[in-house]
A and B are shown apart, each in its own frame.
Chain A
Amino acid sequence: MRPVAVIGIGKTKFGAFPDRDLRSLAVEAGQKALENAQADPAQVEAFYLGNFAGPEFVGQNHLAPYIAGAMGITGVPATRFEAACASSGAAFFHAVSAVSAGLYDVVLVTGVEKMTSRPTPVVAGILAGAGDCCGEVAAGATFPALFAMIARRHMFEYGTKREHLAAVAVKNHANALHNEYAHMRKAITIEQALSGKPIADPLTVYDCSLVSDGAASVLIVPLERASEFAGQPVRVAGIAQTSDYVALDLKADITTFEAVRRAAEKAYKMAGVTPADIQVAELHDCFTIAEIIATEDLGFVDKGQGGPFAAAGCTAITGSKPVNTSGGLKAKGHPVGATGVAQICDITQQLRGEAGERQVTRHDIGLTQNLGGSGATAVVTILAAA
């Protein structure tokens, strides 16, 4: 197995874009990643696409060759990966695995979702398809409801408070102010977050990530060939994807994501680092409680202490463990199929020292955590300055 590097990154702005279709978003991100590395579409040996529900949101199937073709990439494997909100994390994992194994040298990975063209209840129904449609979803659960039940149990077992959840939202909104690609650049207060419109008790609208359109893309190559390209390389030091039951009611303990813990354990081992070594992280805050639990599952803080950890400012850009300097899914936006690769782009920017006002001071090693559904897929990636 040979080391792999991210050599090019590209993102669209995240937001609601009535005039943009799914393909144009994906093509923009892909072309930006190629441009960032000064690579040519003809060099691309395989195209990996992460997309959760293109067929349901916009009626288009056979998406990978549809998008690759528009970028001038033909004659190579072009395949779509679906793993709910971890779709492009999964695409990235499999792309890295193939390059690492020597199957290809130059691979483009893109994540995309076009969500805002459908009414909210329809979007909620499509997203619920990432849950168990014979059980929890049939009983009326939405994704906010599943994470509300997780939050309720976390509060019951560990004393986590709504103020802790609100602190995550306030922090991520503050971070997005400095991210020109973010969907929502608006500061909020703890009071606003606490008094937001209820969605699924105890979660308010400020605990939920945004429904967004957007795409993100990375070009990966073997580390040994990185010098042939223009972009500053970032090494994939460790990566793992794991799975768990889809239904929340089949998990023994819903206050932790076992899939995340297992993926983290493998990725840390592969990279030869510990949680204490991670200097900056992009975590899957689809709901505020998910960021709190992620900091626990990744070993940044003891189990049950994620709430006070966030409220104390430890996860702020200036804190001891900066989390979601991009604004996270909460404020940067969450075009679900784009999220995993967008996280890789954001950490690559940090490790290159190109994060502008969001730049953290120590930036040699970073981590991304991408979650599918209520924890049935997890991808953890550790990136290191090459």
Chain B
Amino acid sequence: MSTTTTALPEAQLQPTKTGHSGGVVYTDTVIFSGPEQFVKDVPYQIAIITLDDGGRLTCRIDGDNVSIGDRVEFFEFRNGIPFFRKPA
């Protein structure tokens, strides 16, 4: 049970199953020491995005690194992981 009076929407509980258009970088990090399944990807950047359609999402960043406040767009799902990137 959450402490709020309403349950969380499915889109927030299962974010990787829904598509998103874009948003703004809330925070980020570049990972140099990865878990077993992502060791081959290091260094890679992840970010929490404040989505245009509400809520936040943790995603991978494709291409150039981003910083807090940057505008990003949804790019694609790879193995179920949402990738965002800077607009072209």
Contacts and interface: CB of A to CB of B under 8 A. Distances in A.
Interface in B66-88: 68, 80-82
A142 B44 CA distance: 12
Contacts of B58: 135-136, 139, 141, 247-249
A355 B52 CA distance: 54
A139 B82 contact: yes
Interface in B8-28: 8, 12-16, 26-28
Interface stretch (A120-128, A161-169, A292-300, A364-372): A120-128
Given A149-B28, A254-B27, A140 B36 contact: no
Contacts, number: 107
Interface string B55-67: 1111110000000
A198 interface: yes
B38 A140 contact: yes
A283 to B, nearest CB: 22
A135 B16 contact: yes
Contacts of B82: 139
A142 B57 CA distance: 16
A46 B22 CA distance: 53
B6 interface: no
A135 B60 CA distance: 11
Contact of A250 (B8, B27, B47, B81): B8
The bracket for how many chain B residues form the interface is: 35 or more
Contacts of B5: none
A58 interface: no
Nearest to A151: B29
Interface residues of A, number: 37
Contacts of B29: 145, 148-149, 152, 200-203
Contacts of B13: 134
B32 A128 contact: no
Interface in A104-123: 120-122
Contact of A139 (B12, B36, B81): B81
A135 B32 CA distance: 20
A268 B32 CA distance: 40
A158 interface: no
A66 interface: no
A150 interface: yes
B34 A120 contact: no
A145 B31 contact: yes
Among B14, B32, B34, B58, chain A packs the most CB atoms within 10 A around the CB of: B58
A103 interface: no
A197 to B, nearest CB: 8
Contact of A125 (B36, B55, B59): B36
Interface of A: 120-122, 124-125, 128, 134-136, 138-142, 144-145, 148-150, 152-153, 156, 197-203, 243-245, 247-250, 254
Given A135-B15, A139-B58, A145-B46, 10 more contacts: A121-B34, A139-B59, A142-B33, A144-B31, A145-B29, A148-B29, A152-B29, A153-B26, A153-B27, A244-B3
In the A-B complex, list the 9 residue pairs whose CB atoms are closest, starting with the nearest.
Answer: A148-B29, A136-B58, A249-B56, A153-B27, A121-B36, A149-B27, A125-B35, A201-B30, A124-B35
13 contacts: A128-B35, A135-B57, A139-B60, A141-B31, A142-B34, A149-B27, A149-B48, A198-B30, A200-B31, A201-B32, A244-B3, A248-B48, A249-B57
Interface of B: 2-3, 8, 12-16, 26-39, 41, 44, 46-48, 55-60, 68, 80-82
